[in-house]
Amino acid sequence: MEVLVGFDDDLAGEPTRLVNRIRGLLVTIHPALEKALGPRLHHPAALELLVQYGGSDRLRTATTDDLLATARPLAPRMAGRLVEAVKTALDAQTVVVPGTTAAATVLPHLARSLRSLHDQRDQVAAQVEEILDAHPLARVLISMPGLGIRTSARILLEIGDIAAFATSGHLAAYAGLAPVTRRSGSSIKGEHPPTQRRQQSPQTRHVPGRVRLPLRPPEQGLLRPQESQR
């Protein structure tokens, strides 16, 4: 499982790089189309449109029914909105930017590479899940909110042998979920709450403690009228 999780970590950064490459290429030739497809590049329907039609020229010549036939098997509920957003983006730009033809050649290759990476990560996740099912703590971890197969596998690899922790408190302290003492055991006899820093007044904030004087008004204005008459 450690080998598979490490390989998945290596694959995790590649999809982000390819997505940025595709979006950067779309911005240079058709910004409106990038706005429509860019946020959806992790969905297989958006990738299939790029694989089948490439750049903006072939997408513009394709009919709405053709685009729906390509996207609907992969996104039954989102296909209509996706095709409508693509058609609206294509109508928003009438200028042909230099390099559009070359981009139409490169985009399908990038989309295929991105789709292949997603398939590889799915295959690795399936193999990790098979190994994870055999672990006695797998059901407990996966049942927790926010923990999936990949995160549960990494937690088990980090913990190692659960018998090494005497109690659940030791495990929580190891994970950083419980407070622990960061002081030397020979210098303290008990635990004390951390002292809070005393807030200083604006008048004494920049004055060193050794030369700080009490703030007193001058004595000349403190004499009572009876004493001043004497």
Residues 11-25 pLDDT 10s: 888 898 999 999 999
Q: How confident is the model at residue 146, as a pLDDT?
A: 72
Residue 220 included in any domain: no
Residue 8 in contact with residue 128, Cβ under 8 Å? yes
Same domain, 63 and 104: yes
- Distance CA(107)–CA(54), nearest Å, equals 6
Specify the pTM: 0.62
Residue 150 included in any domain: yes
Same domain, 79 and 106: yes
Q: How confident is the model at residue 82, as a pLDDT?
A: 93
Same domain, 147 and 87: no
Same domain, 56 and 168: no
Same domain, 26 and 113: yes
Chain segment 164-178, per-residue pLDDT in tens: 677 777 677 766 666
Same domain, 77 and 37: yes
Same domain, 13 and 108: yes
From the list 19, 227, 229, the residue with the least C-alpha distance to 110 is 19
Same domain, 118 and 7: yes
Same domain, 67 and 165: no
Q: What percent of the chain has pLDDT over 90?
A: 35
Taking the alpha carbons of 168, 170, 174, 180 in that order, is the dihedral positive or negative? positive
Residue 130 included in any domain: no
Tell me the C-alpha to C-alpha distance, in Å, between residue 52 and each of 82, 91, 118, 146. 15, 20, 18, 36
Chain segment 74-110, per-residue pLDDT in tens: 999 999 999 999 999 999 888 888 888 899 999 999 9
Q: State the residue range of the domain holding 62.
A: 2-122
Same domain, 90 and 154: no
Residue 110 included in any domain: yes
Residue whose pair of structure tokens reads 């860019």 in the numeric block: 38
Q: Is the pLDDT of residue 36 over 50?
A: yes
Looking from the CA of 98 toward its CB, the CA atoms found within 13 Å total: 0
Same domain, 7 and 39: yes
Q: How many domains does the chain have?
A: 2
Return the structure tokens found at 173: 């302290």
Q: How confident is the model at residue 194, as a pLDDT?
A: 52
CB neighbourhood size of 114 (10 A):
25
Same domain, 57 and 143: no
Residue 33 included in any domain: yes
